[in-house]
């Protein structure tokens, strides 16, 4: 898979999963623009990509809740790199995000938390894709990859969750909405831009042993995902190997949703 000469913009690029996918694309030769919150370690990670893979990489600090700001980013990336060919939406508020009224029982989940999750997980994807579309069309090989979740497909199994780990209503709703947005964009932006999604299962992040045991019992491949498991999916959807694939959701969950 050769991505030399192509530029990818990655939201959530300073996160564990985002950076893993950025590594996969950089190893294939893509230049990388990492987008994440100010103060994140993105600048060091961008430098690491340059040093390790010899590609052009740059960090753009931005709050995805600020729509007017993020709309300017694709044009800036295109000017800085000479093109914008791949857009990956990986940033999201997740079950472990520390926010009031978030990972609490349904009766105590706050509207403010709901609105922020929809803004980050869904609205930012719409706004950034809209701003990036003119640039992605230019070489007729534009690719958008939305990172969704198995919980955009199925409901959460409450039997496996413990205090501190949760699946708020807004998370599932935003990820389900992201999958439908993927299909909508795929038919709207074709034929010059492909739009697909990746739905990972749970990723191993030092969860409690009791939770891990319950999760593994429900997973045919008998383990949680690691970041390396998502790399291949991202590289496939970003490259010409998937040139005839659009509007699809690639589920990478060890078989969790196959039951």
Catalytic sites, residue numbers: 171
* Contacts of 210 by beta carbon, 8 Å cutoff, 6+ apart: 162
DSSP 220: T
Between CA 180 and CA 197 the distance in angstroms is: 10
Task: Report the alpha-carbon distance of residue 171 to residue 94 in Å, rounded.
Answer: 7
Tokens 């190997």 sit on residue: 241
Give the DSSP letter of residue 35: E
Two tokens at 239? Answer: 């490259």
Look at residues 128, 129, 124, 243 and name the one whose alpha carbon lies nearest to residue 189: 129
> Which spans in the chain are helix H?
16-27, 42-53, 67-70, 73-81, 111-118, 124-136, 169-189, 209-217, 228-238
């Amino acid at each position: 898979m050769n991505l030399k000469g192509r530029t990818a913009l990655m939201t959530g690029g300073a996160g564990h999963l985002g950076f893993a996918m950025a590594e996969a694309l950089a190893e294939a030769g893509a230049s990388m623009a990492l987008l994440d919150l100010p103060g994140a370690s993105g600048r060091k990670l961008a430098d690491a990509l340059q040093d390790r893979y010899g590609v052009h990489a740059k960090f753009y600090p931005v709050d995805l809740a600020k729509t007017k700001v993020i709309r300017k980013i694709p044009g800036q990336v295109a000017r800085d790199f000479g093109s914008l060919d791949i857009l990956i939406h990986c940033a999201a508020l997740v079950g472990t995000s520390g926010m009031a009224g978030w990972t609490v029982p349904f009766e105590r989940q706050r509207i403010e938390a709901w609105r922020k999750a929809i803004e980050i997980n869904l609205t930012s994807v719409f706004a950034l894709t809209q701003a990036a579309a003119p640039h992605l069309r230019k070489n007729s090989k534009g690719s958008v990859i939305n990172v969704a979740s198995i919980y955009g497909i199925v409901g959460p199994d409450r039997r496996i969750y413990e205090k501190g780990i949760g699946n708020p209503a807004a998370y599932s709703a935003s990820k389900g909405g992201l999958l439908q947005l993927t299909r909508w964009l795929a038919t709207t932006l074709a034929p010059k831009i492909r739009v697909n999604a990746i739905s990972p299962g749970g990723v191993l992040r030092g969860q409690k042993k009791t939770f891990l045991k319950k999760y593994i019992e429900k997973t045919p491949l008998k383990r949680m995902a690691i970041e390396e498991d998502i790399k291949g999916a991202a590289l496939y959807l970003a490259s010409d190997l998937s040139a005839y694939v659009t509007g699809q959701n690639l589920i990478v969950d060890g078989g969790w949703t196959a039951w």
